Structure 1
Amino acid sequence: MTLLDRRVVLAPMAGGPTTVGLAAAVTTAGGFAFLAGAYLEPDRLRDDIVLLRSAVGRAAFGVNLFAPNPYEPGSAARVLEYATRLQPLADKAGIPLGDAVHDDDSFDAKIDVVLAERPAVVSFAFAWPPADVVDRLRAAGIEVWVTVNDASETAWANELGVDGIVAQGWEAGGHRGGPVDSGLRQAPTRLLLQSIRALTSLPVVVAGGVCDPTHLAGLLGAGAHAVACGTAFLCADEAGTAEIHRHELTRRTDTVVTRAFTGRSARALVTSWTEVFTEAAPAAYPQVHYLTAPLRAHGKATGQPDLVHLWAGTGHRSARQAPASEIVEHLLSRL
């Protein structure tokens, strides 16, 4: 990771919060920004890369992709059972549940896009990228980073020959990005950083619900190359965060790691949905994601927070409503 000389990284937040405007503002303010490529059509991803490059000139930025997990045939029955449990909620809202399909989020086509457009970094979450993809990206001069949630995964990263590791601690908001979604409690951010640093010479970018400058400075002091912040930017003026999400970040306190919305463990604000369905939700991404998508979209559109996946890290109460440039300045104020 020779290119990154910036200490604040804008973590990719797929599904709306990450916008080209947010990434541009963070980059201009001295941060390193990731575009969230997940859920986008390949042409839209290409357009976003072109727009961001036109806004930031020669400044470096990255793109994050979800690497696909293989389909597990045995998950179909569990997803059907979960759909049966959700049906009364959908009936009450007057919204049909979605089709619980499995896909790879146009992975190969998006690899073609990044190879053509050549952002400085491509990072991966949810699974390991195939070795030939890593080789092709690095041959094109693109750095490859992978996400881990457990120190034991470091050996895989070393073997894959990547350029950097994103160490996502237990406190982080949104999906667990590592390759193994055990559903079990994982190491807190600082301990994960220390454990990984003892196992590799690769640079480590650490993530874990960091929204205040003291926390950020402490992680840098503990050996992080940089700190990735997502929740800290959810209320930024340039973010695409839904209004209901912004509002609930200021009102709710507790968070929980749950598979209830997408079938993959993710930290969100506690709502009636998480309280009722967390134990029932199967490990089946992206089938559960597609199953619940219409209901979640309805919740956003109608202002019903208990129907929305309100991703948030544990430090969300410190998130600031301000221009992204001010948030970057604030995060760096203790260095």
Structure 2
Amino acid sequence: MHNGEITNRGSDNFDSNIKALLGTELPIIQAPMAGVQDSTLAIAVSEAGGLGSLPCGMLSIDQIVSEIEAIQASTTKPYNLNFFCHRMPQFDQSQHAKWRTVLTPYFEEFDVNAASLLNSATRMPFNHDIADAIEPFCPSFISFHFGLPDKQLLARVKSWGAKVVSSATTVEEAIWLEANGADGIIAQGIEAGGHRGMFLTDNLTTQMGAAALISQIAQRVNVPVIGAGGIGDSNDVQSALSLGADAVLVGTAYLLCVEAKTSPLHRAAIQSGQSPHTALTNIFSGRPARGIVNRAMKELGCIHPLVPTFPFASIEATPLRSQAELQGRDDFTPLWCGQNTSGCKAISAGELTKALYTQAS
């Protein structure tokens, strides 16, 4: 909380509190985006003065270690490791049987054998095994999605001296995060692409736009606030700062950067007339996430009541995606994307990072 007072920090007053939190030259964090980036993008952003991020939620422990080694071999600048901290549910066979019945026409169309599908998930929550692997690297900054890990695990992370932030999609979540040890809060507006960070509620009617969320959170907490959602250029950065954010988190604008691993199909969708039409959907993962509307979302409905619990919904979605993509189609591809694609340019991530802030001076 800035004592109930919203201030415009501006480029000449990159606040000491947020500088201490991020350790960067610029108040710009590149959003971690699983599936469309690796360490290459994170390195480019960090080298440009922002905080590059590595999404670790879909990586194996060996892959996480390899990516951290790549980052540390290429830059001495700070970087962010991002993890999911959802609670893993039990696999529910009856739930999946109902969902597979719904998907039967698509399995037949794309020649997917539903009987051969496994019951394992690729999105695993942060745990002590992961902590064992990353502790030797002394990570200075870690972000979480879907709340925070349990108290013992969080205490272990903070014992390394790591700064910890997490996403809040409501004021209540922001207050909870501060009370439970977060050093900073990402105010994730409804405009943001990818998964909603919701963890105290699953009610989508509670979700608000970034402008309202940033200003309200800034007045209710004492830790730095990082604005996210719909930020595509320097004007958007300045707007977020004027609303009370201390820094911003930018994702979608980086999707076309040369260092991103965004697929040709995904890039084409972003550059097409489809991109302004995004929606929240649960059909690809089991949790609400914003992406460009495609065939699966149109035909199944963006939010379907029979979708299996996160993260197990990907069991059915992934083979359908793979088979469709072999035909050059994005019918079942999660085209994660925010509402604002105006900042998407096929330039270097370093150039974009600098432009986001220097022009906001």
TM-score of the alignment, normalized to the shorter chain, above 0.5: yes
Q: Which of 45, 55, 79 is equivalent to 1:61?
A: 79
Structure 1 residue 128: Cα displacement: 2.4
Calculate the TM-score normalised by the size of structure 2: 0.87
Calculate the TM-score normalised by the size of structure 1: 0.93
Which residue matches 2:101? 84
Secondary structure in 2 matching 1:316 = coil
Structure 1 residue 92: Cα displacement: 0.5
- What amino acid is aligned across from residue 63 of structure 1 in structure 2? L
- What amino acid is aligned across from residue 190 of structure 2 in structure 1? W
Q: Which of 249, 254, 276 is equivalent to 2:277?
A: 254
Q: Is the 8 A contact 1:264 1:283 kept in 2?
A: no
Structure 1 residue 100: Cα displacement: 4.2
Equivalent positions of 1:141-180 (< 5 A) are 141-180=161-200
Which residue matches 1:334? 360
Q: 2-side partners of 1:170 and 1:106: how far apart?
A: 23
Q: 2-side partners of 1:305 and 1:135: how far apart?
A: 42
Which residue matches 2:292? 269
Equivalent positions of 1:95-114 (< 5 A) are 95-97=112-114, 98-101=117-120, 105=124, 107-108=126-127, 109-114=129-134
2:338 counterpart of 1:313 = yes
Q: 2-side partners of 1:287 and 1:201: how far apart?
A: 37
Secondary structure in 1 matching 2:208 = coil
Structure 1 residue 102: Cα displacement: 5.3
Q: Which of 68, 71, 74 is equivalent to 1:49?
A: 68
Equivalent positions of 1:174-189 (< 5 A) are 174-180=194-200, 182-185=202-205, 186-189=207-210
Q: 1-side partners of 2:203 and 2:295: how far apart?
A: 20
Q: Is the 8 A contact 1:181 1:264 kept in 2?
A: no
**Is the alpha carbon distance of 1:219 and 1:205 closer, same or farther for their aligned partners in structure 2, counting shifts above 3 Å?**
same
**Is the alpha carbon distance of 1:155 and 1:259 closer, same or farther for their aligned partners in structure 2, counting shifts above 3 Å?**
same
Residue by residue over 1:38-61, the C-alpha shift from the partner in whole angstroms, topping out at 9 and shown as x without a partner, is 11000110110111011112x111
**Number of residues paired by the alignment?**
332
Structure 1 residue 32: Cα displacement: 0.6
2:152 counterpart of 1:132 = yes
- What amino acid is aligned across from residue 346 of structure 2 in structure 1? Q
Secondary structure in 1 matching 2:280 = strand
**Is the alpha carbon distance of 1:291 and 1:60 closer, same or farther for their aligned partners in structure 2, counting shifts above 3 Å?**
same
Secondary structure in 2 matching 1:46 = helix
Q: Percent identity?
A: 28
The structure with the largest alpha-carbon Rg is 2
Residue by residue over 1:154-200, the C-alpha shift from the partner in whole angstroms, topping out at 9 and shown as x without a partner, is 23212211211111110000001232451513110111111111211
Q: Is the 8 A contact 1:69 1:104 kept in 2?
A: no
Which residue matches 1:197? 218
Which residue matches 1:21? 40
RMSD, aligned CA: 1.9
Q: 1-side partners of 2:201 and 2:344: how far apart?
A: 27
Which residue matches 2:8? none
Unpaired runs of 5+ in structure 2? 1-17
Q: Is the 8 A contact 1:260 1:274 kept in 2?
A: yes
Q: 1-side partners of 2:125 and 2:166: how far apart?
A: 19
Name which of structure 1's ranges 78-87 and 184-193 shifts more when overlaid on structure 2: 78-87
Which residue matches 1:233? 254
